Amino acid sequence: MAIAYPTTKDYDSTVAEGLWIADFYTSVCGPCKLIDRIVNEIVLENPDVNWAKCNLENDWDMMERYQVQGTPTLIFYLDGEEKARMIGGFHSREEIEDVISRIMYGE
């Protein structure tokens, strides 16, 4: 498990290997805090799941480049390839785990 804080400069290399959840958020976004709590629990229990925390306030260019239309947005990557995307803060832990499980192990 790794936790990274990428910007546009190192984003692609960060998510290039393994399973990554890129978490796009802002500090003033309430629902982002809900998602943050859930993802934190998942990555603590599953060392194969990596977490790229992308604070848009630090680099607004990421929003356009990765087509983020709102916060929070989670983009799931396996070896650099986008596999899934979840938008909004009201997803359960089970929903997020289902997405990860499908990416890691298939249907």
- Summarize as ranges the residues that interact with another protein (CB under 8 A): 1-3, 30-31, 33-34, 42-49, 89-90, 97, 100-101, 104-107
Least distance CB 64 / another protein (angstroms): 27
User: Across the strands, what pairs with 23?
Assistant: 53, 74
Cβ proximity of 68 and 56 under 8 Å: yes
- Find, among 58, 59, 65, 39, the residue nearest to 50 by Cα: 39
Smaller CB separation from another protein, 61 or 98: 98
Least distance CB 91 / another protein (angstroms): 11
Smaller CB separation from another protein, 41 or 57: 41
Smaller CB separation from another protein, 65 or 88: 88
Smaller CB separation from another protein, 35 or 64: 35
- Can you read off the two tokens belonging to residue 78? 């396996």
- Find, among 82, 25, 35, 28, the residue nearest to 56 by Cα: 25
- Can you read off the two tokens belonging to residue 59? 């680099």
Least distance CB 46 / another protein (angstroms): 4
